[in-house]
Structure 1
Amino acid sequence: MSGESDLKALLAGMEPVLSAEPYGYALSPDGAGRDEAFATVREDEGLTLVAPMERLAALGLSPQGPLARISLTIHSDLAAVGLTAAFATALGQEGISANVVAGFYHDHIFVQWDRRHDAMAALQRLAGRA
């Protein structure tokens, strides 16, 4: 099942949803917590976990964060062009960094926790202009 690939439709229908709990990134030297993480990234230096801060701390890890997770609810096609650039630009214009994780169905944006409401407003403005 393929998702939406038209940029205008993606922007108009992205419907961002803000998660209530703070997230973080942490290195898991022995792979502990990988099954419970929201996302994992295997790099040469080790396994990065993206998970709620509370869970990372419970594993005894030293998470970087806190970050807010914003999920775009539209099913975006993995081959769609321009969505990441558009929302990264909108957030960048507000001085908000964006760490992006793409799943099969949705894009998830991790932003500074204290700027989460500003990020949501910027994304909603972007959707409204599409």
Structure 2
Amino acid sequence: MLITTRYYFTLFFEKIGVLNMVGEVNLARLLADMSPSLSEAEFVFYSSDELDWNTIAQLDPKSVFIEEEGISLILAVDNARHLSLDDDTTYKCITLNVHSSLEAVGLTAAVSHALTQANISANVVAAYYHDHIFVNASDANRALEVLNQLSDAQ
């Protein structure tokens, strides 16, 4: 019942212009307004086919994705210290603070292209409001600079 009520309130507020839940679709505006910010936290990627939902909740993941091979998690380093990690690479998250529509075309490609030109690997997670780019922690400040330059060029 709560979800249904929230849904109808959201529709009402969108209709009268109080909320904009749709997000931006214009690529030039998305790039100009992306306002990237870098997280302080470092993250690791982890996958297991042996996790239960209680354990996942205790790990407090930044992201969860169910894949054929297992459940993939993005975890803060501090929350993953006791796990057996296959890879000790740490990542930082750059959030694009523009509210991008899930229907927007080209944002991921433009960001990926700019980072590729700087030889920076990017792992993009699109969420409802924002896109989040996980980059190697050692490349994070340089990646943020690249994205700010991309935004300023618009």
Q: Which bin holds the TM-score, normalised by the shorter protein? A: over 0.9
Q: Distance in 1 between matches of 2:41 and 2:86?
A: 14
Q: Which residue in the other structure is 1:98 paired with?
A: 122
Q: Distance in 2 between matches of 1:75 and 1:118?
A: 23
Paired residues for 1:9-88 under 5 Å: 9-32=29-52, 33-35=55-57, 36-58=60-82, 60-62=83-85, 64=87, 65-88=89-112
Q: Distance in 2 between matches of 1:73 and 1:120?
A: 13
Q: CA RMSD in A?
A: 1.3
Q: Distance in 2 between matches of 1:50 and 1:2?
A: 26
Runs of 5+ consecutive residues of structure 2 not aligned to the other structure:
1-20
Count of aligned pairs: 129
Q: What is the CA distance between 1:76 and its match in structure 2?
A: 0.2
Helix, strand or coil for the counterpart of 2:138? helix
Percent of residue pairs identical: 37
Higher share in helix: 2
Which structure has more relative contact order (CA 8 Å, sep 6+)? It is 1
TM-score by length of 2: 0.79
TM-score by length of 1: 0.93
Q: Report runs of 4+ in structure 1 exceeding 3 Å deviation.
A: none
Q: Distance in 1 between matches of 2:116 and 2:151?
A: 16
